[in-house]
Structure 1
Amino acid sequence: MSYIKAGQDANGEDIKLHYTDQGKGAVVVLIHGWPQSHEAWTYQLGELPKHGLRVVAYTRRGFGNSSKPFEGYDYDTLADDLKAVLDTLNLQDVTLVGFSMGGGEVARYMSRHGGARIARVAFVSAVTPYLLKTDDNPDGVDKSTFDDIQENIAKDRFDFLQTFGKQFYGEGALSKPVSQAVLDWSFGMASLGSHQATVACGHSFAETDFRPDLASIRVPALVIHGADDKTVPIKNSADRMRQHLPHATYIVYDGAPHGLFITEKDKFNRDLIDFATGTDLRGGQTQDS
């Protein structure tokens, strides 16, 4: 396994991030969502390198085979971890892709580190611009929704993860977008995360306001979201990104759930390859597909 050092924990132990580096060419860095690991990008890691792209994916601290410190799950620290990946591998002109919680790392990195090394950014099913409903964010999600998540994690984290996985991929009484094997695989990934990381990251993505961070982004941007996303509803996220990234290309996948990198993998891979290679995606306008 390959690891990158990202500072030290409170006890002076090195924090190591598990990563993979595939292919040659223009660089794409993939940031996974909560509560999985970089292994979630399996269909992208298997396809993008075939198209002249070097693909780097790493696992956030606290999850998968990365170090699991007790602290350090705020977005400033997570953005610094991303910087460690980019600096250690000396990556340049990067297409930075954040899925779900990972969209927050993209936004915070761009403001905190001045967008260094980044050529373009993509927000996929992302939690940006600000999920929590507050007085100055009336279109957010009510706090009770996030309180329920934390309560269910505390009660039985593994049962929560199984239920969450079904919603993640849009499974319902009459809808089976993925196999039981995919659900089992996803559960296995999520169960490797530490309890503390799962809890703390749940607070971070729910409660962090990324609106000031988005104002710093000047590079080409892509926003992709599923119209039927029940995990990060489009009305609370991507629909509002238009206010903050008016220059971005917006693509809505009709009928797609949160985990569209699996359920819509062929379409998603094509769009991501086009974006990373500099293709003007669909004229830079909002599109349904």
Structure 2
Amino acid sequence: MAKIGAAGFSTAASLNPGPPTSMLRRLLRDPVTLFGLAVILATVLAALLAPQLAPYSPDEQFFDGLSLEGAPLPPSERFWLGTDLLGRDLLSRLIWGSRTSLLIGVVANGFAVLLGTLLGVAAGYARGWLGAVIMRFTDLMMAFPALLLAIALAAIFRPSLWIVALVIAMVNWVQIARIVYTETSSLVEREFIEASRAIGAGPLRILLSHVLPHLVPTMLVWGTLGIATTVLLEATLSFLGVGVRPPTPSWGNIIFENQTWLTTAPWLVVFPGAAILLLALAFNLVGDALRDALDPTQRGRD
């Protein structure tokens, strides 16, 4: 999450993002970015086509899905990734779990970006006592460790798919709020904003016509990078038992359910762990590429 702040995604970058076709060419020229896009596309397709792609139902327990000793079966011709401790097909659960993990990642991060942008814009434009109150509240939220706060909120509410998404959004909005506040505070001091005020434009028109369009690149980059963090946080909450409740599959609770078999049946942890790692890496790679493509200081170096 500190990546955007450390990179210094400046207001100047958001003021001149360049032609969309030029940005698209920059993205498609980079093989690392193409790899990230391919992983994201494959995950999205798996989530959308789960009923068609999954060999079995994710909750179907096979009588012959366990060994005579009651142990999960290793990968085989019938069960490509093996079975879990209840005799369910691991591949089917991973495919259906991509729906849960991706849905929570997109919904929770989208809500976090929306909330953080609204509060950051309000604080940066209004300033005065209102801006001070919003930013002091933001600082207070940033003082709490995100994981501990998410665990506390998840423990208060009964965990479900949408409650987990809401909990994650409530702990992830603070970073984007701080970034948007900084950019908005800089924007409102610029000459074209003063000119708009001089000709009688109201605050709402200035925000919609001049401020928010310049914040779109920042929101786009943060939205892409933030999905990786959100997917990891959902997996962590599910692994700790305060995330999505079984039998609904998610990559995190698959690891949680099968962690006791790590030494004897490592595929139960390795495959969902690899899926989480690949998806988080893919969104980080694409987010980094978007940040570079939208930064005008990088355009003359190709």
Greater RCO, 1 or 2 (C-alpha within 8 Å, sep 6+)? 2
Q: Which protein is richer in helix relative to its size?
A: 2
Structure of greater Rg: 2
TM-score normalised by the shorter chain: which range applies? Answer: under 0.3
Superposition TM-score, scaled by structure 2 size: 0.25
